[in-house]
Structure 1
Amino acid sequence: MDMKRDPFPWTKLRYKPLSYLSHNKTTPMHTNTYCFCQKTTIEQQQRHSSAMATSIAYKTPQMLSIFISLLFVFSTLSPVLSLPNITDSSGHRQPANQTSRSSKEMQKLRRVKAYLKKINKSAMKTIQSADGDLIDCVLSNLQPAFDHPELKGQKPLDPPERPKWHYYNVNDTMTESFQLWTNSSESCPQGTVPIRRTTQEDVLRASTVQKFGRKLRRNVRRDSSGNGHEHAVVFVNGDQYYGAKATLNVWAPRVTNEYEFSLSQIWVISGSFGNDLNTIEAGWQVSPELYGDNYPRFFTYWTTDAYQATGCYNLLCSGFVQTNNKIAIGAAISPRSSYNGRQFDIGLMVWKDPKHGHWWLEFGSGLLVGYWPDFLFSHLRSHASMVQFGGEIVNSRSSGYHTSTQMGSGHFAEEGFQKASYFRNLQVVDWDNNLLPLTSLHLLADHPNCYDIRQGKNNDWGTYFYYGGPGRNVRCP
């Protein structure tokens, strides 16, 4: 998250004029000087004239040769010095500035192809999803995480000990078919992990290759007002936390700008709200820039320096180690909740393995997705100092007013079940690997007239809350 949190070779040649011909000035002879010259006869003058003519005739080819050579040199240099138009692949002449732009575009394409070659691993099998995604079944020890120097030559770890009092409520059970790519009845073989293939179009939607798959650098602080990212969340702090668990329902909120997103997630946080912020994040999001569509997608994220240089979404860098062959991180979730209709939710738990110290992620009823190795982090090597649950959107104000991007279902918390989005059964993990209910819960809505939040508690849902909203409306200009 941002936790706002957020606010954020062509070298010009220097050339000198070239002078190819120089003229020597001679000083005229003074008339008052003595001249010890003999008078020349007409015959001598004729002989002198004839000799000069012969000399000029002899030197002319040499001068011509030098002059032609200089012209050739100048014509060779002139394309560089004067930057004239050149032809493109179709034979049309291009201005120099357009040529420079084309060169930069070619350089970017080369960087994109190099990145794709690195991130898209050889597949044992490829599955076509109904939403257009290609899911590659990659040998688990060849996934991007094992490009990391600390993991080279290793294999994924065995499952850790789960937190105590971890039970499966009948309401938490769910079908294994919760992603569109699994509807084809195809599956990845044992020993492989399903990875959504990254395309050239995916990367080109980002402003640079370096920014693809990453959250923008932002000044992270507790109050996120006015920085473009808006939240409706609950959080606990002031203690040592070793994990978090919740069940959240899935919607397809409208995102009105390609460079905005809407997400619902769990944050596990440590460090100060400065350059050393560590976070682990998991949930669902709609992000047209990252995925090229408006489907809600299961995602993960991590950073160890407040989103500056470390971390990424999903498996788009060396970091998260996937251990499951049934879940594709970044793939679309199906089915989804509908207004006044069926509600579909997913269970998520993040916790620190007491034995090895890695942070594991569980999806649904006991389905281990994988883990974040402890060496990725600084503060989170020990424990978390804050846990947060809820929604976040980006408000770019691209039209000069508040965005209409929705959070959650796009409806305010007061509308309740089947209308507003919810989190239920909120819990944290303590130092002894026990799951406990939340106490001393704090609520935060950056812009309550745009997106709000309401907390509750009962025997079936434990600690829960509704949250979300439509964005721009009469009270949210």
Structure 2
Amino acid sequence: MGKRKKVILLFSMALLVLSCKVDAKAEATTTLSEVNRKLKLLNKPALKSIKTEDGEIIDCVDIYKQPAFDHPALRNHTIQMRPSFTIQDETSSTKVDSPPAPALSQTWQKSGSCPEGTVPIRRIRKEDLLRAASLEHFGRDGPRTSWAVNAAATNGQSRHFVHLNGSKIPIFPMPDHSTAFLVTKGYNYVGARGGINAWSPRVESADEYTTGQIWIKNGPPGINFESVEAGWMVNPKLFGGAEPRLFARWTLDGYEKTGCINLVCPGFVQTSETILLGGILQPLSQKNGPQYQINLMMDHDPSTGNWWLHTSQDIIGYWPGPILSYLKKSATTIEWGGDVYSKKVNGNSPTLQQPWGVGILQPGAWDQQLMLGST
């Protein structure tokens, strides 16, 4: 009888181990299936693919089959290939006497080019998705804590301010972020310029990132504001490496549920066949050596409500008016600076550098309207 009990016990334990293995295998299969579905959704069919010297794949996708057209508001959208206005490059109120820094290029351009009628899109890999906190969060990289929760906890008040003409202007920092920026407020703005010095700052952890960028904003301060942004970013968790890359980002609700970086969600409409969002930048500035910068311009098209993003060499594309609300007519805040995300921001010194260059405002009075803020 004792032997029989022992056999039954061992048999039960074997069944339990087998059941755990089956459950683990089923969970892994489900996860893999979800990842594959996400990859199929993110990566559009390519007319041509380019393998770069960095081992990445750049897909040349039909311009009318890019991710933007998965957005419900853009199902019948007709691409606007160029702005309906003439962009003026020499209208800033600030003059820089020193010669401009040389323009940057992108490493993928050494390996090939996309044909006319297509746009280059960095292929998302399985390992990219597996690094993300969740499939839903992939490519968003907004704050991990709700703006609304923070505002409710402080009755909508901020402990951070900048001063302009005797007025105290509240600013609302994101959790686990540290930023340093120039900011202009008080008018309705229809464009901005920025020469952003390009560096390769050290990122201590894969969960941290840093940017040098321009923000264009409108909407309620701190909660549900809209923002379109561009610059360079070092983000190992998103891209799998610590190289600085060109990026564009947008949100309609303070990064809570909408928007993303580059083209990993429907929204931004790319028109350039030569510039890659997420492309590695080169060459980079060196201490006591040559300096390089990204010359970015962001302009509002009053006839369509689109916000155009372009460099000094090419038009990249636009955030379409049909997906915007507060920003559809103009912006009320423009910021130039750098942003750091790190869990070490709170109570400790951030472990990232955030060098950034000079921003040039258009239109508006530089001397009267620029303020320095930091959080």
Shift of residue 151, structure 1, vs aligned partner: 2.3
Q: 1:152 aligns with which of 70, 75, 83?
A: 75
Matching of residues 42-121 of structure 1 within 5 Å: 85=15, 93-94=17-18, 96=20, 99-121=22-44
Shift of residue 351, structure 1, vs aligned partner: 1.1
Matching of residues 324-473 of structure 1 within 5 Å: 324-365=272-313, 367-397=314-344, 401-408=348-355, 421-424=356-359, 426-429=360-363, 437=366, 439-446=368-375
C-alpha contact (below 8 Å) 1:179/1:334 kept by paired residues: yes
Q: 2:237 aligns with which of 289, 300, 314?
A: 289
Matching of residues 299-310 of structure 1 within 5 Å: 299-310=247-258
Distance 1:403 1:174, change over 3 A: closer
C-alpha contact (below 8 Å) 1:156/1:322 kept by paired residues: no
| Equivalent position amino acid for 1:444 in 2 | G
CA RMSD of aligned residues (A): 2.7
Q: In structure 2, what is the Cα distance between the partners aligned to 1:106 and 1:403? A: 38
Identify the structure with bigger relative contact order (alpha carbons < 8 Å, sequence gap 6+): 2
Shift of residue 152, structure 1, vs aligned partner: 2.4
Q: 2:48 aligns with which of 122, 125, 128?
A: 125
C-alpha contact (below 8 Å) 1:253/1:286 kept by paired residues: yes
C-alpha contact (below 8 Å) 2:118/2:273 kept by paired residues: yes
Number of aligned pairs? Answer: 339
Residue matched to 1:269:
217
C-alpha contact (below 8 Å) 1:358/1:372 kept by paired residues: yes
Q: In structure 2, what is the Cα distance between the partners aligned to 1:187 and 1:159? A: 21
Q: In structure 2, what is the Cα distance between the partners aligned to 1:390 and 1:327? A: 23
SS at match of 1:439: helix
The 10-residue stretch of structure 1 (158-167 or 250-259) with the greater mean CA deviation from structure 2: 158-167
Shift of residue 342, structure 1, vs aligned partner: 0.6
TM-score (norm 2): 0.83
SS at match of 1:105: helix
Q: In structure 2, what is the Cα distance between the partners aligned to 1:340 and 1:203? A: 38
C-alpha contact (below 8 Å) 2:340/2:350 kept by paired residues: no
Q: 1:191 aligns with which of 117, 122, 125?
A: 117
Residue matched to 2:189:
241
The 10-residue stretch of structure 1 (259-268 or 394-403) with the greater mean CA deviation from structure 2: 394-403
Q: In structure 2, what is the Cα distance between the partners aligned to 1:165 and 1:322? A: 21
Q: In structure 2, what is the Cα distance between the partners aligned to 1:429 and 1:219? A: 33
SS at match of 1:104: helix
Q: In structure 2, what is the Cα distance between the partners aligned to 1:378 and 1:155? A: 19
Distance 1:111 1:286, change over 3 A: same
Q: In structure 1, what is the Cα distance between the partners aligned to 2:26 and 2:346? A: 33
Residue matched to 1:142:
65
Q: In structure 2, what is the Cα distance between the partners aligned to 1:236 and 1:386? A: 6
| Equivalent position amino acid for 2:274 in 1 | K
1:252 aligns with 2:205: no
C-alpha contact (below 8 Å) 1:172/1:364 kept by paired residues: no
Distance 1:83 1:310, change over 3 A: farther
Shift of residue 224, structure 1, vs aligned partner: 5.3
Distance 1:403 1:104, change over 3 A: farther
Distance 1:400 1:271, change over 3 A: closer
Q: In structure 2, what is the Cα distance between the partners aligned to 1:236 and 1:163? A: 24
Q: In structure 2, what is the Cα distance between the partners aligned to 1:147 and 1:316? A: 11
Shift of residue 115, structure 1, vs aligned partner: 1.1
Q: In structure 2, what is the Cα distance between the partners aligned to 1:83 and 1:149? A: 52
Shift of residue 156, structure 1, vs aligned partner: 1.9
Distance 1:437 1:399, change over 3 A: closer
| Equivalent position amino acid for 2:37 in 1 | A
SS at match of 2:273: coil
Q: In structure 2, what is the Cα distance between the partners aligned to 1:94 and 1:401? A: 47
Shift of residue 398, structure 1, vs aligned partner: 9.4
TM-score (norm 1): 0.66
C-alpha contact (below 8 Å) 2:172/2:221 kept by paired residues: no
SS at match of 2:242: coil
Identity percentage of aligned residues: 35
Shift of residue 382, structure 1, vs aligned partner: 2.2
Per-residue displacement from partner, 1:26-78 (whole Å, max 9, x unpaired)? xxxxxxxxxxxxxxxxxxxxxxxxxxxxxxxxxxxxxxxxxxxxxxxxx9xxx
Distance 1:224 1:84, change over 3 A: farther
Q: In structure 1, what is the Cα distance between the partners aligned to 2:283 and 2:89? A: 26
Distance 1:226 1:360, change over 3 A: closer
Distance 1:165 1:328, change over 3 A: closer
| Equivalent position amino acid for 1:205 in 2 | R
Distance 1:350 1:106, change over 3 A: same
| Equivalent position amino acid for 1:111 in 2 | E
Which ranges of structure 1 fall in alignment gaps of 5 or more residues? 1-74, 87-92, 409-420, 431-435, 447-477
Q: Which has the higher strand share?
A: 2
C-alpha contact (below 8 Å) 2:101/2:292 kept by paired residues: no
Q: In structure 1, what is the Cα distance between the partners aligned to 2:43 and 2:244? A: 22
Which ranges of structure 2 fall in alignment gaps of 5 or more residues? 1-7, 148-157, 159-169
Task: Flag the structure with larger Rg.
Answer: 1
C-alpha contact (below 8 Å) 1:112/1:200 kept by paired residues: yes
The 10-residue stretch of structure 1 (343-352 or 210-219) with the greater mean CA deviation from structure 2: 210-219
SS at match of 2:33: helix
Q: In structure 2, what is the Cα distance between the partners aligned to 1:164 and 1:193? A: 22
